[in-house]
Amino acid sequence: MSRITMRDYNSYRVRRALASLGVAGREVTLACGSMVKVVKKASVYRGGECFYNDIETSLPYIETVTSYYVYGRELFGGRSAHHGESRSSTSEYQSTE
């Protein structure tokens, strides 16, 4: 199993996610298995492969961590590239807890 971490800095979506989740830092698991939380603290992207120098930001963002598997056919983010099947949930940030 491998994981992909996505960060969304769109201020409209951050406000919408905060309204749905209640508070920053609260982590919820979506029906598709992805984990989502809003981060409102300073973050540092280390220089190296993608950036020459370190980049520090204090912007709030939505962090989504999703897992994918490769078993004979590739499954990426809950979608089967081989058969076009979709296992994703709604676009809303709703907990399955």
Average the pLDDT over 42-65 and give the result: 90
Using alpha carbons, select from 97, 25, 96 the residue that is nearest to residue 60: 25
CA separation, residue 62 to residues 24, 41, 56, 83, 97 (Å): 9, 12, 16, 30, 19
Higher pLDDT: 47 or 91? It is 47
pLDDT tens digits for 4-21?
999 999 999 999 999 998
pTM above 0.85, yes or no: no
Question: What are the residue ranges spanned by the domains of the chain?
Answer: 2-80
Tokens representing 8 are: 């969304």
Q: What is the mean pLDDT of residues 45-74?
A: 85
Q: What is the mean pLDDT of the chain?
A: 78
- For position 89, what pLDDT does the model report? 40
